[in-house]
Copies of this chain bind each other. A is one copy, B any other.
Amino acid sequence: MIVHVQKNIPAASLELLGRKLQAAVLTTPERHILITPSSYRSVNGEAAGVEQYIEETFVFADDRQMAALEYTKTKRTVNIGNVAVGGQTDHCIMIAGPCSIESEEQIDQVAQFLVERGIKTLRAGCYKPRTSPYSFQGLGLEGLKMLARVRERYGFSIITEARDATHIDEIIEYADVIQVGAKAMYDQGILRRCGTSNKPVLIKRGFGSTLQEFVQAAEFVLSAGNDQVMLCERGIRTFETKTRFTLDLCGVAWLKAHTNLPLILDPSHAMGYRYGVPDLAKACVAMGVDGLLIETHPNPDVAKSDASQQLNFAQFGAMHDSLRALAQAVGKTMV
């Protein structure tokens, strides 16, 4: 439940009401917003004596609150550099780049390629959430600094991933969009810190996480005051092993109908093999999603991570062309 409370409520009354409702309190220029656990279905007795300050109460069918489409009625807009995503726009943003930044030369090659194609948002991992401690772990801070130089040189918006809470401040300092990785989706150290930042946040769905939990990860950021949140479906883990994960487009249909957050799709990680990525990207665009996250690398075969799923430039270019035509057919514009 969400309760809108007037600004002129006495501080002690607000504090008391918040405590009674076990609510998170978010104060905006217009009002106080009390956000309660889903078990609260009305303010009832808890608001006795302060009813006059209560503007409106919102109750939801399941455990969604700030992210509920029923709350805002329209989709939220997130601004990535000069590009607006979601909201009333017809944009489908293309976010592209290698799995990992590996060297100054590698990232420069990617950057030049993306610039030529008019793509404005670059992804590259610096802190890699590898399952094994004996695999390539990413360039860390050095990588972040390379990304900062690429931004200066080419004017991209940069998105990169926080692996755990120990380096979240660095990520916030260097990135334009903070990516919360699938393996970190429950990491409150990251999520709460993102909530007090003003940078856009892209939250990837944990591959073992329900849609409910996915939305609740966003609630951590939204309730702390940062409304620049996007959700990214990237495949869930199922019994099928011929593909790396299973892209959950039924889930995307649910998110589109039930939440107010822009939806970004990552077919690269879902498929795990480059041959399926273009077809899946088409499927996503046809559903009207707000953006795509696609891995591309100058020479995928020697990539230090995710070698099998990154597209080379020719493959990416062919896919990108076909997506632009398809987007038009469904009333979208690739940006």
Contact = CB atoms under 8 A, between A and B. Distances in A.
A160 interface: no
A254 B277 CA distance: 11
B257 A250 contact: no
Given A210-B241, A241-B241, 17 more contacts: A129-B186, A131-B212, A133-B220, A134-B219, A164-B190, A183-B186, A184-B187, A208-B208, A235-B250, A239-B239, A242-B251, A250-B271, A253-B271, A253-B280, A282-B330, A283-B283, A328-B329
A223 B239 CA distance: 27
Which of A22, A253, A254: most chain B Cβ within 10 A?
A253
Nearest to A288: B279
A28 interface: no
A65 interface: yes
A302 B237 CA distance: 35
A269 to B, nearest CB: 10
A166 B165 contact: yes
A240 B215 CA distance: 13
Contacts of A163: 188-189
Interface in A260-299: 270-271, 275-276, 279-280, 282-288
Interface in A231-250: 235-250
A31 interface: no
Contact of A243 (B63, B247, B250): B250
B208 A280 contact: no
Interface stretch (A35-43, A101-109, A115-123): A35-43
Contacts of A248: 238, 240, 246
Contacts of A287: 279-280, 282-283
A213 B253 contact: no
Given A248-B246, A283-B283, A286-B282, A24 B326 contact: no
Contact of A326 (B236, B243, B257, B329): B329
Given A238-B238, A240-B248, A279-B253, A133 B219 contact: yes
Contact of A131 (B35, B213, B251, B283): B213
A206 interface: yes
Interface string A203-228: 00011111111001001100110000
Contacts of A210: 239-242
A135 interface: yes
A250 B286 contact: no
Interface in A125-158: 129, 131-136
Contact of A23 (B134, B164, B213, B235): B134
Which of A23, A165, A270: most chain B Cβ within 10 A?
A165
Given A164-B187, A236-B240, A131 B253 contact: no
B254 A243 contact: yes
Contacts of A208: 206-209, 237, 239
A129 B184 CA distance: 12
Contacts of A328: 329
A246 B242 contact: no
